[in-house]
Amino acid sequence: MADYQTWLPDLKQLGITVIAASVDSPEDACKSVESHKLAFPVAHSLDYQDISRRTGAFIEHERKILQATGFLLKPDLIVHVATYSTGPIGRLTPNDVSSIVRLNLAKTTAPQGEKIC
């Protein structure tokens, strides 16, 4: 989440809204927000089994948590990109999000007949 905070000004400039969600308690979520100085919403107290059923997120049963799952939504709230991690690697990074959005913006603003490589 700290990476997203660092990139937040750039993401906002692209019209991107960042929202995080967690199975953490309100107290633990607040600690994360404070320690990383997060300026975007962080939902907490999510039911890990319910969220897994709804999104396909992988569960770590021993700790009753979800592995990182990231979504980039289109303006109409349709999923454009989704990443599902099964462990400590494999995240949708803010650089990924920025690159994807920039590419899509370039495609939609390019003059007709002009190719975007």
DSSP 61: T
pLDDT (tens digit per residue) in 11-51: 999 999 999 999 999 999 999 999 999 999 999 999 999 99
Determine contact, residues 3/18, Cβ cutoff 8 Å. no
Other C-beta atoms within 10 Å of 42: how many?
17
* CATH no. for 2-105: 3.40.30.10
pLDDT (tens digit per residue) in 80-94: 999 999 998 989 999
**What are φ and ψ of residue 73, in 5° steps?**
-100, 145
Of 31-35, 76-80, 103-107, least confident by mean pLDDT is 103-107
